[in-house]
Structure 1
Amino acid sequence: MKSLTDVLDGRWAEIRREIRAQVADTTFQAPYGFGVEEHRAQVLEQLHELARTGRPRLGFPKEYGGNGDIGGSVVSFEMLGFGDLSLMVKAGVQWGLFGGAVELLGTREHHERYLRAIMDLELPGCFAMTEFGHGSDVQHLRTTATYEPATQEFVVHTPEPSARKEYIGNAARDGRMAVVFAQLVTGGQSRGVHAFLVPIRDENGRPMPGVRIEDCGPKAGLNGVDNGRLTFDRVRVPRTALLNRYGDVAEDGTYSSPIDSDGRRFFTMLGTLVRGRISVAGSAGSATKRALTIAVRYGETRRQFERPGTDEETVILDYLGHQRKLLPALATTYALHFAQEELVASLDELQSSRDPGERSRRELESRAAGLKAVATWHATRTIQTAREACGGAGYLAENILPSLKADTDVFTTFEGDNTVLLQLVAKGLLTSYKEEVQDLSPLATARFVAEQFVGAVIERTAARKVIERIVDAGPGRDDDDALFDRAWQIRAFEDREEHVLDSLARRLRRATPETAFEVFNAAQDHVLRAGRVHVDRIVLEAFVAAIDRCEDAEAKALLERVCDLYALANIEEDRAWFLEHGRLTSARSKALVAAVNTLCSELRPHARALVDAFAIPEQFLAAPIISGPTP
Structure 2
Amino acid sequence: MASTDAASRTAAPRTPPPLEGDAAALRAFLDGPHAAVRDQVRAQLVEHAPILDERVDLPRAELRRRVRDLVVDIGARGQSGHGFPPQYGGGGDIGASVAAFETLAYGDLSVLVKSGVQYGLFGGAVLQLGTARHHEAYLPDLVSGRLLGCFAMTETGHGSNVQALGTLARYDADTDEIVVTTPDDASRKDYIGNAADDGEMAVVFAQLEVGGEGHGVHAVLVPLRRDGEVLAGVRIEDCGAKLGLEGVDNGRIWFDEVRVPRGNLLDRFATIDDDGTYRSSIENPDRRFFTMLGTLVQGRVSVGGAALGASKVALEIAVRYALRRRQFEATTPGVEDLLLDYGMHQRRLLPLLARTYALSCAQEEVAGQLHQVFSAGTPDADERARRALESRAAGTKALLTWHATTTIQECREACGGAGYLAANRFSALKADTDVFTTFEGDNHVLLQLVAKGLLTDYSSEFEDLDQFGMVRFVTGLAVETVIERTAAHQLLERIRDVLPGGRDGWDQEAGLLDPDYQLAMLRYREEHQLAGVARRLKAGVAAGTAPGTVFSAVQDHVIAAARSHVERLVLEAFVARVRAQPEGPTRDTLAALCDLHALATIEADRGWFLEHGRLSAPRSKAITREVSTLLRRLRPVAAPLVEAFGIPPGVLGARDLVG
Shared fold by TM > 0.5? yes
Residue 397 of structure 1 pairs with residue 422 of structure 2: yes
Q: 1:478 to 1:528 in 2, by over 3 A?
A: closer
Q: Aligned residue for 1:41? A: 65
Within-5 A mapping of 1:25-36: 25-26=47-48, 28-30=50-52, 31-36=55-60
User: Are the counterparts in 1 of residues 603 and 623 from structure 2 also a CA contact under 8 Å?
Assistant: yes
Within-5 A mapping of 1:108-123: 108-123=132-147
Aligned-partner residue type, residue 401 of structure 1: F
Q: Aligned residue for 1:545? A: 576
Aligned-residue offset at 1:18: 2.6
Q: Structure 1 residue aligned with 2:342, among 310, 319, 322?
A: 319
Q: Aligned residue for 2:562? A: 531
- Distance, in Å, in 2 between the alignment partners of 1:322 and 1:481 is 30
- For the residue of structure 1 that corresponds to 2:103, the secondary structure is helix
- Distance, in Å, in 2 between the alignment partners of 1:456 and 1:224 is 51
Q: Structure 2 residue aligned with 1:454, among 478, 482, 485?
A: 482
- For the residue of structure 1 that corresponds to 2:323, the secondary structure is helix
- Distance, in Å, in 2 between the alignment partners of 1:256 and 1:514 is 41
Q: 1:27 to 1:421 in 2, by over 3 A?
A: closer
- For the residue of structure 2 that corresponds to 1:226, the secondary structure is coil
Q: Structure 2 residue aligned with 1:560, among 588, 591, 597?
A: 591
- For the residue of structure 2 that corresponds to 1:195, the secondary structure is strand
- Distance, in Å, in 1 between the alignment partners of 2:507 and 2:437 is 39
Of 391-400 and 56-65, the range deviating more from structure 2: 56-65
User: Are the counterparts in 1 of residues 106 and 652 from structure 2 also a CA contact under 8 Å?
Assistant: no
Within-5 A mapping of 1:170-209: 170-202=194-226, 204-209=227-232
Q: Aligned residue for 2:298? A: 275
User: Are the counterparts in 1 of residues 103 and 309 from structure 2 also a CA contact under 8 Å?
Assistant: yes
User: Are the counterparts in 2 of residues 480 and 588 from structure 1 also a CA contact under 8 Å?
Assistant: no
Aligned-partner residue type, residue 20 of structure 1: R
Runs of at least 5 residues in structure 1 that lack an aligned partner in the other structure: 460-467
Q: Aligned residue for 2:526? A: 497
Query: For residues 122-170 of structure 1, what are the alpha-carbon distances to aligned partners after superposition, in whole Å with 9 as ceiling and x for unaligned?
Result: 1100000000011100010000001110011111011011101000000
Aligned-residue offset at 1:423: 0.4
Q: Structure 2 residue aligned with 1:83, among 88, 99, 107?
A: 107
- Give the count of matched residue pairs: 619
Aligned-partner residue type, residue 72 of structure 1: A
Residue 219 of structure 1 pairs with residue 242 of structure 2: yes
Q: Aligned residue for 2:251? A: 228
Identical pairs, percent: 54
User: Are the counterparts in 1 of residues 45 and 107 from structure 2 also a CA contact under 8 Å?
Assistant: no
Within-5 A mapping of 1:91-490: 91-202=115-226, 204-307=227-330, 310-353=333-376, 354=379, 356-452=381-477, 453-455=481-483, 474-476=499-501, 478-479=507-508, 482-490=511-519
Aligned-residue offset at 1:626: 2.7
Of 484-493 and 437-446, the range deviating more from structure 2: 437-446
Q: Aligned residue for 1:69? A: 93
- Distance, in Å, in 2 between the alignment partners of 1:7 and 1:169 is 34
Q: 1:456 to 1:548 in 2, by over 3 A?
A: farther
Aligned-residue offset at 1:551: 2.1
Residue 626 of structure 1 pairs with residue 650 of structure 2: no
- Distance, in Å, in 1 between the alignment partners of 2:452 and 2:580 is 32
- For the residue of structure 1 that corresponds to 2:35, the secondary structure is helix
Of 243-252 and 357-366, the range deviating more from structure 2: 243-252
Q: 1:521 to 1:328 in 2, by over 3 A?
A: same
Aligned-partner residue type, residue 386 of structure 1: C
Q: 1:23 to 1:443 in 2, by over 3 A?
A: closer
Q: 1:17 to 1:470 in 2, by over 3 A?
A: farther
Query: For residues 546-580 of structure 1, what are the alpha-carbon distances to aligned partners after superposition, in whole Å with 9 as ceiling and x for unaligned?
Result: 10222261110001110011111111111111111
- For the residue of structure 2 that corresponds to 1:603, the secondary structure is helix
- Distance, in Å, in 2 between the alignment partners of 1:589 and 1:555 is 29
- Distance, in Å, in 1 between the alignment partners of 2:178 and 2:49 is 46
Aligned-partner residue type, residue 429 of structure 2: L
Q: Structure 2 residue aligned with 1:585, among 613, 616, 624?
A: 616
Q: Aligned residue for 2:17? A: none
Q: 1:575 to 1:71 in 2, by over 3 A?
A: same
Aligned-residue offset at 1:34: 2.1
User: Are the counterparts in 1 of residues 46 and 651 from structure 2 also a CA contact under 8 Å?
Assistant: no
Q: Structure 1 residue aligned with 2:638, among 607, 623, 626?
A: 607
Q: Structure 2 residue aligned with 1:6, among 28, 38, 41?
A: 28
- Distance, in Å, in 2 between the alignment partners of 1:89 and 1:470 is 45
Aligned-residue offset at 1:70: 1.1
User: Are the counterparts in 1 of residues 262 and 272 from structure 2 also a CA contact under 8 Å?
Assistant: yes
Aligned-partner residue type, residue 500 of structure 2: P
Q: Which TM-score applies when normalising by structure 1?
A: 0.95
- For the residue of structure 1 that corresponds to 2:344, the secondary structure is helix
Of 45-54 and 435-444, the range deviating more from structure 2: 435-444
Aligned-residue offset at 1:11: 1.1
- Distance, in Å, in 2 between the alignment partners of 1:21 and 1:621 is 13
Q: Aligned residue for 1:594? A: 625
Runs of at least 5 residues in structure 2 that lack an aligned partner in the other structure: 1-22, 488-492
Aligned-residue offset at 1:253: 2.9
- Distance, in Å, in 2 between the alignment partners of 1:616 and 1:390 is 19
Aligned-residue offset at 1:600: 1.2
Aligned-residue offset at 1:103: 0.7
Of 518-527 and 58-67, the range deviating more from structure 2: 58-67
Of 298-307 and 267-276, the range deviating more from structure 2: 298-307
- Distance, in Å, in 1 between the alignment partners of 2:483 and 2:366 is 23
User: Are the counterparts in 1 of residues 500 and 510 from structure 2 also a CA contact under 8 Å?
Assistant: no
- For the residue of structure 1 that corresponds to 2:219, the secondary structure is strand
Q: 1:458 to 1:566 in 2, by over 3 A?
A: farther
- For the residue of structure 1 that corresponds to 2:147, the secondary structure is coil
Query: For residues 518-571 of structure 1, what are the alpha-carbon distances to aligned partners after superposition, in whole Å with 9 as ceiling and x for unaligned?
Result: 001100000100110010000001001110222261110001110011111111
- For the residue of structure 2 that corresponds to 1:20, the secondary structure is helix
- For the residue of structure 1 that corresponds to 2:174, the secondary structure is coil
- For the residue of structure 2 that corresponds to 1:298, the secondary structure is helix
- Distance, in Å, in 1 between the alignment partners of 2:185 and 2:44 is 45
- For the residue of structure 2 that corresponds to 1:454, the secondary structure is helix
- For the residue of structure 2 that corresponds to 1:154, the secondary structure is strand
Q: 1:240 to 1:595 in 2, by over 3 A?
A: same
Superposition RMSD on alpha carbons, in Å? 1.9
- For the residue of structure 1 that corresponds to 2:179, the secondary structure is strand
- For the residue of structure 2 that corresponds to 1:436, the secondary structure is helix
Q: 1:95 to 1:470 in 2, by over 3 A?
A: farther
- Distance, in Å, in 2 between the alignment partners of 1:554 and 1:24 is 31
- Distance, in Å, in 2 between the alignment partners of 1:226 and 1:552 is 50
| Highest RCO, 1 vs 2 (Cα 8 Å, sep ≥ 6) | 2
Q: Which TM-score applies when normalising by structure 2?
A: 0.91
User: Are the counterparts in 2 of residues 471 and 491 from structure 1 also a CA contact under 8 Å?
Assistant: no
Query: For residues 293-322 of structure 1, what are the alpha-carbon distances to aligned partners after superposition, in whole Å with 9 as ceiling and x for unaligned?
Result: 000000111111112551111111111111
